[in-house]
Every structure is written in structure tokens, then in C-alpha cells.
């Protein structure tokens, strides 16, 4: 009798477990290990620690006025987006911003210095909203994931955030709280994991 009872209990246990797994698969989802979720989340957060930093967002304004400094104040001299994101003829970005930082005047510089396109305005957005805009091909210049990885990890203007130089008073500009190496690894990991955007 005891053997029969044990057999019935073990059989019912198998049936219950099978039914639960079947229900999960039928519903279209599968359990994901917490460490995997944590790794993807960490990659996203590490990447966004850089992308959402003022060194980046200052050139992704929502009002067509470039920002400057750690306080993201409007650019001196009334500079605005102008033509091709480069200002106007008399106030073209490259008049002052050269291909590298000017250690004497404190003017920052990097190759093809300019504002990001208006479609990529990030100022005031959450991290998730920035990521959504970044992946939207109608806003990002029709870039694929591969092209975005290249842009984010190899473009000299993007990577300027890790070598921002000093201001006019010789004070080093604040860098993102992530190393260039860790940032690049996080970008590649995030895209390799499917470029999943966490909820805000």
C-alpha cells in the first residue's frame, strides 16, 4: 500500500511539472535565468552611463542650441544649429572647434565636430527613450545595428568624451564614470544580447 501511495504521489508531481512547463511554452515565454537578465541590464546601464552623460547630451539638444560645460548651459555667443548641424556661416562650429582639443584656449575639439541631427535630440529623455531613438532607423540616419556599433565604438567624435581636455581655466572636464574599454565592451555586449531596452 505504501509503495502504491508513493507511486501515485511521484506520478502526480511529474504531471504537475509537465503541465506548468507546457503552459509556459504555450503562452510564448520561457523562464530566463536571473544572471542572464542581470548581465544584459548591466551592459545597458554601463553603455548609458556614457551615452546619457552631459559630454554626449550637450551636443544632442532638444532646442537646437548646443550646450556646454558640466551644467549644460547654452553655448556662448548665441550659437544655434544652423545649416547641416554646423551653425551659420559666421559662426560655423569648425571656426573654433578644431580636430583636437586646444590646450591653450580650452576650446574642445574632435574630427567633424558638429551637433547631432535634430532627429537625435536626447536632452530631457530617459535612458530608455534615448536607446529607442538610437535604434530607430528613421531617426539615426538609417543605421543598422552593425553600423551603430561602429559609430558608438570607433567614431572619433563619440570617443572624445573619454578625452575631453580642459576648459578655459585649465580645469579638466568631467569624464563619464566608465572607462573607454568597459564602454566599448558594454556596447558590443548589449547589441549581441539583442539590444533589449529595459522599461524606464
Q: 106-125: per-residue pLDDT in tens?
A: 999 999 999 999 999 999 99
> Is the per-residue pLDDT at 75 higher than 50?
yes
Residue 194 CA to residue 199 CA, distance in Å, equals: 15
Q: What is the pLDDT of residue 31?
A: 43
Question: pLDDT value at position 86?
Answer: 77
Give the model's confidence band at 200: pLDDT under 50 very low, under 70 low, under 90 confident, else very high: low
Res 100 pLDDT > 50: yes
Q: Dig out the grid coordinates for 75 from the structure.
A: 553655448
Supply the pLDDT for residue 169.
93
Three-state secondary structure call for residue 119? helix
* pLDDT surpassing 80 at residue 38: no
pLDDT over threshold 80, residue 32: no
Residue 129 exposure: Cα atoms within 13 Å on the Cβ side? 8
Whether the pLDDT of residue 55 is over 60: the answer is yes
- Supply the pLDDT for residue 117: 95
Average pLDDT for 187-196: 97
Q: SS3 helix, strand, coil % of the chain, rounded to 5?
A: 50, 5, 45
User: Which residue's entry shows cell 504555450?
Assistant: 26
Helix residue ranges, H only, the chain: 2-26, 34-51, 54-57, 93-96, 127-135, 145-154, 156-159, 180-192
For the stretch 24-30, contacts whose Cβ atoms lie closer than 8 Å and that sit 24 or more positions apart, written own/partner, are none
Residue 77's pLDDT is 87
Distance CA 58, CA 68 (A): 6
Query: Is the sign of the CA dihedral 142, 148, 150, 155 positive or negative?
Result: positive
Q: Which has the higher per-residue pLDDT, 38 or 127?
A: 127
Task: Note if the pTM is more than 0.85.
Answer: no
Over residues 34-38, the mean pLDDT reads: 57
Amino acid at each position: 500500500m505504501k509503495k502504491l501511495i508513493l507511486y501515485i504521489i511521484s506520478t502526480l508531481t511529474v504531471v504537475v511539472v509537465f503541465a506548468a512547463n507546457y503552459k509556459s511554452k504555450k503562452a510564448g515565454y520561457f523562464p530566463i535565468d536571473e544572471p542572464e537578465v542581470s548581465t544584459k541590464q548591466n551592459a545597458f546601464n554601463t553603455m548609458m552611463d556614457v551615452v546619457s552623460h552631459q559630454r554626449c547630451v550637450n551636443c544632442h539638444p532638444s532646442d537646437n542650441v548646443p550646450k556646454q560645460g558640466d551644467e549644460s548651459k547654452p553655448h556662448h555667443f548665441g550659437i544655434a544649429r544652423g545649416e547641416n548641424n554646423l551653425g551659420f556661416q559666421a559662426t560655423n562650429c569648425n571656426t573654433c572647434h578644431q580636430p583636437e582639443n586646444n590646450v591653450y584656449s580650452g576650446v574642445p575639439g574632435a574630427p567633424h565636430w558638429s551637433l547631432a541631427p535634430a532627429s537625435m535630440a536626447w536632452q530631457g529623455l530617459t535612458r530608455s527613450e534615448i536607446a529607442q531613438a538610437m535604434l530607430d532607423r528613421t531617426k539615426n540616419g538609417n543605421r543598422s545595428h552593425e553600423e551603430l556599433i561602429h559609430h558608438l565604438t570607433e567614431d572619433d567624435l563619440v570617443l572624445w568624451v573619454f578625452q575631453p581636455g580642459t576648459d578655459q581655466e585649465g580645469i579638466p572636464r568631467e569624464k563619464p564614470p566608465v572607462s573607454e574599454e568597459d564602454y566599448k565592451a558594454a556596447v558590443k555586449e548589449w547589441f549581441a544580447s539583442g539590444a533589449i531596452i529595459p522599461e524606464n
